[in-house]
Chains A and B, each alone.
Chain A
Amino acid sequence: MTGASPEPTGTDLRATVLPAPAGLTDPTTASGGTPPMYTLTAVTKTYSQGKKTVTALDGIDLEIPAGQMVAIQGPTGGGKSTLLQVLGALDRPTSGTVRLGDSDLSAAGDRALAAVRARDVGFVFQGFNLIPTLTAAENVETAFADDSVPRPERRTRAKEALASVGLAERAGHLPGELSGGQQQRVAIARALVKEPTVLLADEPTGSLDEATRDEIMDLLEGVWRDRGLTLVIVTHDSAVARRAERRLRIAGGKVAELLPTS
């Protein structure tokens, strides 16, 4: 499922909002011939909010090639996080299909979705979401969702993951003893330690200052480049979005491509 390492274009993206597409008529358009990691077809997600029904995703057709770095932007309540949750097997669409490689996530049961999350998907959250009572190394170890990996190996890999994000010396510290940037590094190490094929980041720099934001984005970009991950970042920050090779805008439950500026 690992795709070829893509090269970031570094090209400025022109913030042109395309008319909300009925769908990508040609799924290979965005992938340029690379096998798709994600294929979404007519995906709709609705919620009940009191007596009202809210449509968070409205018939989305989308294809994300393996190894692509994609930024998703859009207004609050536009459906960014919902799309990320559908991509991350945290939620099933109300209708339509979501395929991750060969797996149909929209038809999978809870146990199968948990297995997909444990094996193929890494998450990075805006609020870091570390367990406050566990040390950095122990937080990273929680990513091993079952006991299939022996304990000594889990510990070794957790330390290596922390070293890869520059926190080898902080392995024994509790989250409360770390800065925001360091906590996000721990969260990234937790997402990477199980060697997923997809890394999903929900506002990964939303709680950080600019300098730390750039450090974290450098780290994520480096990981994406080195490991050939498919990286999907939801962000409000255009500076972050501009580092992606592909930018999508989602508003009113519909997704649109933001084309690079000439």
Chain B
Amino acid sequence: MFLTYLLRELSNRRKQTVVIAAGMALAIALVIVVSGVAAGVRNAQSSVLESVYGVGTDVTITQTAEPGADGGGPGQQFAFGSGDGTTTDDGSTEVAQSTLSAARGTATFASSALATVEGVDGVSAATATLSLENSSFSGTLPDFSQGAGGAGTDGTTGDGTGTDTDTDGTNDTDGTDGTDSGTQPAPPTGGADGAGGSAFDVDQFSVTGLDPSAAAVGPLTSASLVDGRTLAADDAGTDVVVLDQTWATSAELAVGDTLTIGGTDFTVVGIVASTSSDAATASDAYVPLDTAQALSGLTDQISDVYVTAASASGVDALKTDVQAALPDATVSTQSDLASSVSGSLTTASDLIGKLGTWLSVIVLAAAFLIAILFTVSGVGRRTREFGTLKAIGWSNARITRQVAGESLVQGLVGGVVGVAAGLVGLLVVNLVAPTLSAAATTTAAGPGGPGAAADAGGAAAAGGGGFGQQVAAATTDVVLHAPVTISVVLLAVGLAVVGGLLAGAVGGWRASRLRPAEALRSVA
């Protein structure tokens, strides 16, 4: 009787059933889409963070750069002596220099901090890295020996000090304007364009020195090997390098090639890529830590410590303990790091987190309200019916059960339709696959100091910073994939059940409060 009565009532009141179910479906679909997109954004943030900090890193330790500290100077300088470079047949001089230094805005600290961290309770694994920046300068200088003095009328090598009769009244050294009646020097010859010009290439890429024996934690834990091999324990002290695939492609380097880092030739032994489909790894090149320290002159210095906590629940306590052990260090948890992700990914996250969530809540509340109002209105229209049923002996509980059952089915119908609509919505999101840009800023400049950032794409980004300025890194594009999880579907169905039961409870309560005599009297 319960089911028969329920189904007959719902089919007889199709309009009400459709309105309630449609409202519920809209709300459920919205919840699914928002939840799916939010999960996608979270995954994107995680992949960005993992590409920078590696998998399994719970806490990172850095030190804020002090003004004038390494990397905080006015910029890289290249110094050449008079005998440097290679002179070619046309008199041009080719010069090249490669230096390895701490990345701008990166403060280094004593590697003994690693041992301190490893001694803190709750540390499962820890490893140290040194973030460096390789800068290379190469170019061709013209032959200045030809222009040391112009061919003056005195028949001697001009020194440029002769009387200048040119029209602008300035001292002319190029000998092309006016008539140099004195000892005007000759112009340089050769050079990049063969006519006395010069051309220079300046290139930078990021280099991370890491402990080749640390496999459990560190920036390479989120990378997968594409070609060759990764660093091994016996690589310590050797000149081998593993490259990020994206950077290696742009630099046209492959396993077996040679790459000059800090003036030393390194053999490329492997190519790695981020496990995230669209993000690059944390650095362009990875070399053994001790090699990096030696080449950069930062002996026994490190820039980052990556820590894995013994238990996920103990991360906050671990942060406190590490901070106590290293008072001058900046200790960050994953949640702290998440706030360092910037770009349109963050905008999307904010949008989903605030607007999406509130929109879902509002629509859900509206759907619940519609369901409740329609149910109460339906109870009002069925006063005679419920009065009669009470007169023939139906208990309040049975009437409440009947009303609640009808509302529950209406909610479930809406839930099923909403789940289907929500899945279609997520399918559309995944087909469109919007691309979001993201950058994970790893270092904030101190007061008055310049800042630098290591971006998720691995491209070095540097710039001068003002007071307290954070320098944005070059962005990484992350394609948004909104996952469908069974938990979200269950959540949606659960909300539909809750909505139906809520409306049924209110409607049933109204029905149960009807006094049979008054109900019959009111419709007599």
9 additional A-B residue pairs with CB within 8 Å, beyond A118-B392, A118-B395, A133-B8 = A88-B391, A117-B516, A125-B388, A127-B524, A138-B1, A142-B1, A142-B5, A143-B392, A145-B393
Contact flags (1/0) for A114-150 with B, using CB distance below 8 Å? 1101110111011101011110001001111110000
Q: Which residues of A contact B78 (CB under 8 A)?
A: none
In the complex, the answer to whether B393 meets A118 with C-beta atoms within 8 Å is: yes
The yes or no answer to B110 lying at the interface (CB within 8 A) is: no
CA distance A51 to B1 in the complex (A): 43
Within the complex, the shortest CB–CB distance from B214 to chain A, in Å, comes to: 69
CA distance A43 to B395 in the complex (A): 26
Q: Which residues of B contact A131 (CB under 8 A)?
A: 5, 385, 388-389
**6 A-B interface contacts by CB (under 8 A):** A118-B392, A123-B391, A127-B384, A134-B8, A154-B1, A194-B393
The yes or no answer to B394 lying at the interface (CB within 8 A) is: yes
Q: Which residues of B contact A154 (CB under 8 A)?
A: 1
Q: Which residue of A lies closest to B384 (CB)?
A: A129
The yes or no answer to B359 lying at the interface (CB within 8 A) is: no
The yes or no answer to B487 lying at the interface (CB within 8 A) is: no
Q: Which residues of A contact B393 (CB under 8 A)?
A: 114-115, 117-119, 121, 143, 145, 194
Q: Which residue of A lies closest to B382 (CB)?
A: A131
Residues A77-96 near B (CB distance < 8 A): 81-82, 85, 88, 90-91
The yes or no answer to A110 lying at the interface (CB within 8 A) is: yes
In the complex, the answer to whether B395 meets A133 with C-beta atoms within 8 Å is: no
Q: Which residues of A contact B277 (CB under 8 A)?
A: none
Residues B372-390 near A (CB distance < 8 A): 384-385, 387-390
Contacts A85-B520, A90-B516, A132-B12: A110 and B5 contacting too (C-beta < 8 A)? Answer: no
Residues B82-140 near A (CB distance < 8 A): none
Residues B486-521 near A (CB distance < 8 A): 515-517, 520-521
Q: Which residues of B contact A52 (CB under 8 A)?
A: none
In the complex, the answer to whether B1 meets A114 with C-beta atoms within 8 Å is: no
The yes or no answer to B42 lying at the interface (CB within 8 A) is: no
The yes or no answer to B198 lying at the interface (CB within 8 A) is: no
Candidate in A115, A129, A141, A143 with the most chain B CB atoms within 10 angstroms: A129
In the complex, the answer to whether A133 meets B9 with C-beta atoms within 8 Å is: yes
CA distance A90 to B521 in the complex (A): 11
CA distance A110 to B515 in the complex (A): 10
In the complex, the answer to whether A117 meets B8 with C-beta atoms within 8 Å is: no
Interchain CB contact (< 8 A) of A81 among B391, B394, B398, B524? B524
CA distance A126 to B389 in the complex (A): 15
Within the complex, the shortest CB–CB distance from B378 to chain A, in Å, comes to: 12
Q: Which residues of B contact A243 (CB under 8 A)?
A: none
Candidate in A90, A125, A127, A154 with the most chain B CB atoms within 10 angstroms: A90
In the complex, the answer to whether A114 meets B394 with C-beta atoms within 8 Å is: yes
Q: Which residue of A lies closest to B10 (CB)?
A: A133
Candidate in B384, B387, B395 with the most chain A CB atoms within 10 angstroms: B395
Within the complex, the shortest CB–CB distance from B236 to chain A, in Å, comes to: 79
In the complex, the answer to whether A142 meets B520 with C-beta atoms within 8 Å is: no
Contacts A129-B384, A131-B5: A145 and B394 contacting too (C-beta < 8 A)? Answer: yes
The yes or no answer to A254 lying at the interface (CB within 8 A) is: no
Contacts A90-B516, A90-B520: A138 and B4 contacting too (C-beta < 8 A)? Answer: yes
Q: Which residue of A lies closest to B5 (CB)?
A: A134
In the complex, the answer to whether B517 meets A145 with C-beta atoms within 8 Å is: no
Interface size of B as a range? 20 to 34
In the complex, the answer to whether B12 meets A123 with C-beta atoms within 8 Å is: no
CA distance A127 to B521 in the complex (A): 12
Q: Which residues of B contact A191 (CB under 8 A)?
A: 392
Within the complex, the shortest CB–CB distance from B462 to chain A, in Å, comes to: 76
Q: Which residues of A contact B387 (CB under 8 A)?
A: 129
Contacts A85-B520, A91-B517, A132-B12: A190 and B392 contacting too (C-beta < 8 A)? Answer: yes
Residues B304-327 near A (CB distance < 8 A): none
Candidate in B12, B390, B392, B396 with the most chain A CB atoms within 10 angstroms: B392
Interchain CB contact (< 8 A) of B517 among A85, A111, A132, A194? A85
Within the complex, the shortest CB–CB distance from A108 to chain B, in Å, comes to: 14
CA distance A134 to B4 in the complex (A): 8
In the complex, the answer to whether A141 meets B1 with C-beta atoms within 8 Å is: yes
Contact flags (1/0) for B1-33 with A, using CB distance below 8 Å? 100110011011000000000000000000000
Sorted from nearest, which 3 A-B pairs have the closest CB atoms? A118-B393, A145-B393, A133-B8
Q: Which residues of A contact B392 (CB under 8 A)?
A: 117-118, 122-123, 142-143, 145, 190-191
Q: Which residue of B lies closest to A129 (CB)?
A: B388
Q: Which residues of B contact A126 (CB under 8 A)?
A: 524
CA distance A138 to B5 in the complex (A): 9
Q: Which residues of A contact B396 (CB under 8 A)?
A: 110, 114
Within the complex, the shortest CB–CB distance from A18 to chain B, in Å, comes to: 28
Within the complex, the shortest CB–CB distance from A96 to chain B, in Å, comes to: 16
In the complex, the answer to whether A81 meets B395 with C-beta atoms within 8 Å is: no
Within the complex, the shortest CB–CB distance from B6 to chain A, in Å, comes to: 10
Contacts A133-B5, A134-B5: A145 and B12 contacting too (C-beta < 8 A)? Answer: no
CA distance A117 to B387 in the complex (A): 12
CA distance A88 to B392 in the complex (A): 10
Within the complex, the shortest CB–CB distance from A154 to chain B, in Å, comes to: 8
Interchain CB contact (< 8 A) of B390 among A114, A132, A133? A114
Q: Which residues of B contact A111 (CB under 8 A)?
A: 395
Within the complex, the shortest CB–CB distance from B403 to chain A, in Å, comes to: 14
Candidate in B11, B384, B515, B520 with the most chain A CB atoms within 10 angstroms: B520
